[in-house]
A = this chain, B = another copy of it.
Amino acid sequence: MAHQLLSEREINFLLYEFLDTEALIKRPRYSDHSREIFDATLNTAHTIAEKFFANHNAKGDANEPSFDGKTVSVIEETKASWNAFAEAGFLAAHCDAEEGGLQLPEVILRTALAYMAAANIASASYPFLTIGAANLVRTFASDSLKEKFLAQMLDGRSAGTMALTEPDQGSALSDIRTSATPTEDGTYRIHGQKMYISGGDQNLTDNIVHLVLAKIKGAPAGVRGISLFLVPKYLVDESGRPAERNDVKLAGLLHKMGYRNTTSTVLNFGEEEGAIGYLIGEPHCGLKYMFQMMNEARISVGAGASVLGYQGYTYSLDYAKGRPQGRLPSNRDPESKQVPIVQHADVRRMLLIQKAYAEGGLCLSIFATSLYEDEQTAATKEQRHHAATLLDLLTPVVKSWPSKYCLKANELAIQVLGGSGYIREYPVEQMYRDNRLNAIHEGTEGIHALDLLGRKVPAKNLAGYQLLQAEIRNTVMQARDKPKLESMAKALEKALEKLDETSFALFNQLQEDVDRGLGNATLYLDLFGCIVVAWMWLKQAIIAEKALETVPDGDAQDYYQGKLHTAKYYFEWELPKTDTAIALLKSGNPIPFDMQENWF
């Protein structure tokens, strides 16, 4: 069954109806651009995704990277995908023209990348990580480091990684033990082991730039003693050409349930004389720098989860339309014709849930990307600050909500296909396996929950939180006098009030006992996410309601009817579920917290 990557209709909705991407052209940075250029870029991305990424999605899953003790190999199609991506200029698409970039807006770049993720999220990881690593080098590294390493990362000769996690420390970055010893020439010697480093080794590029968190000897304990180092796989000459091998060795590959064509590695730094590392920025400020890449990766994880959810949705929809089986319950005539399973109510229900989650996730992801864009290029300082504040608050939600709900969507895609969904002869089981990673990497759901409730919401006297409330209320105001939207608007307004009550109850609990007060944080993250996505759906419903007044009958009407109906589904089936969470959170329900280790 041929299956489309994303949907042009949906992408156009997101870019040009949900967002006003054309308005970016008025910003000085994009004045040489046009919608035609944006669309041509996306067309190129779509073509490359179809031709160089989709072609080996299943093959890369079935033939995961191997390591013979000396070199690691990924299937050769991966190299072609990397090259096609780099040659089309996507590694530098968002960079300024004077840096050799295409100076494209972030939303266009990220939408382009969504096609690659839809086609093959594992192979897409290599360029995605490289873009993030290059951004970090661009922002924080010295000119001399940039001269040696950046051009290679932007044109595809070198890839990039983020090397944070260590075997004994997991999510607790304050305990990393990788050490950095200064040498007389100003470089450092890095010693330590890093684990779960995606793309940590491969045979795609001439070099790999590892961005490594390590502690300089004598540094303060905890996260305030972490520095950031650029540690290349190969040392380079003055022109950046790889020369001798650095003391970075692949200790082994890890074998994942999904995302298999992305190497997941254990790397030994400094088994011998010490890997040569170059300090980025100031000593002890490494975590702050790394957060730029982490936050970028978090939005990317949410987007990837959403794209996988969307692929499962559209695949199972196509399947359901084409697969005849059984009859409606009211039809007792066994000799009558079978109906396509999309006509069975429960299949429609499963498709509708997928649509609500996947399109909700896509909206949320692109909305976050637009905030990132505004943070960089909005006209006024206030607008830029506003966007930055909102994005900072929403990042844990943007990472976590799609990772949870679009996995559920993939679970339902399997269920729509039944037995066929469970076998590798169909693609949905791989989507499910791939997507299971997203609630883990770049911070687990639990870590983001602590971040949201413990840091992001209370930050700066609730600045982000109050901004979000105000933004959502704006949307509510636009909807409340439209008969088709009124009940949704009221429900969202009510949900906002309840969120407020819940948040303030939690602040009190945190004051009394921070451990206990954070005990149900994951439930709060889920509640928060459900309300934010309800907002995304109300925004979509407003557009749909308005469009329905003018667009002609047929496909155009159907599209917006679908949006409106799915919004209704979300408000009537999903949002009410938050009531249970609200009651538990407000009362500070102690049951999980009070569970004793010996009682398990």
Interface residues of A (CB under 8 A from B): 165, 168-172, 174-175, 195-196, 221-223, 254-258, 264, 317, 321, 323-330, 334-335, 338, 342-352, 355, 407, 411, 414-415, 418-419, 421-425, 429, 432-433, 436-437, 439-441, 444-446, 449-450, 454, 513-516, 518-522, 555, 558-559, 561-562, 565-566, 568-569, 572-573, 576-577, 579-580, 583-584, 589, 591-600
A344 to chain B: closest residue by CB: B446
Residues of B within 8 A of A344 (CB): 446
Most chain B beta-carbon neighbours within 10 Å: one of A335, A419, A439, A593: A419
Q: List 26 A-B contacts (CB under 8 A).
A: A170-B325, A222-B334, A254-B419, A254-B423, A255-B423, A257-B424, A257-B433, A264-B423, A328-B515, A345-B520, A346-B446, A346-B450, A346-B519, A348-B592, A348-B593, A349-B522, A349-B593, A352-B592, A415-B445, A422-B436, A429-B436, A565-B596, A572-B584, A573-B589, A576-B583, A577-B577
A354 to chain B: closest residue by CB: B600
Q: Could you tell me if B593 and A572 are in contact, using CB atoms closer than 8 angstroms?
A: no
- Out of B327, B350, B411, B562, which one reaches A599, CB within 8 Å? B562
Q: Could you tell me if B591 and A565 are in contact, using CB atoms closer than 8 angstroms?
A: yes
Q: Could you tell me if A515 and B440 are in contact, using CB atoms closer than 8 angstroms?
A: no
Residues of B within 8 A of A516 (CB): 345
Q: Could you tell me if A338 and B175 are in contact, using CB atoms closer than 8 angstroms?
A: yes
A558 to chain B: closest residue by CB: B598
Given contacts A222-B334, A418-B440, A558-B599, 20 further A-B contacts (CB under 8 A): A170-B326, A172-B325, A174-B326, A174-B334, A221-B334, A222-B335, A256-B423, A256-B424, A344-B446, A346-B446, A348-B592, A349-B520, A351-B600, A352-B600, A414-B440, A432-B436, A568-B591, A573-B584, A573-B589, A577-B577
A518 to B331, CA, bound (A): 13
A332 to chain B: closest residue by CB: B222
- Out of B175, B195, B418, B561, which one reaches A326, CB within 8 Å? B175
A594 to chain B: closest residue by CB: B565
Residues of B within 8 A of A446 (CB): 344, 346-347, 350, 415
A174 to B593, CA, bound (A): 51
Q: Could you tell me if B595 and A326 are in contact, using CB atoms closer than 8 angstroms?
A: no
Q: What is the oligomeric copy number?
A: 2
- Contact status of A569 and B591, CB under 8 A, knowing A415-B440, A423-B254: yes
Residues of B within 8 A of A440 (CB): 414-415, 418-419, 421-422
Q: Could you tell me if A171 and B326 are in contact, using CB atoms closer than 8 angstroms?
A: yes
Task: Please give the distance in Å from A598's CB to the nearest CB on chain B.
Answer: 4
A449 to B415, CA, bound (A): 14
A323 to B170, CA, bound (A): 10
Residues of B within 8 A of A195 (CB): 419
A586 to B340, CA, bound (A): 28
Residues of B within 8 A of A599 (CB): 558-559, 561-562, 565
Q: Could you tell me if A596 and B317 are in contact, using CB atoms closer than 8 angstroms?
A: no
Residues of B within 8 A of A257 (CB): 422-424, 429, 432-433
Q: Could you tell me if B583 and A449 are in contact, using CB atoms closer than 8 angstroms?
A: no
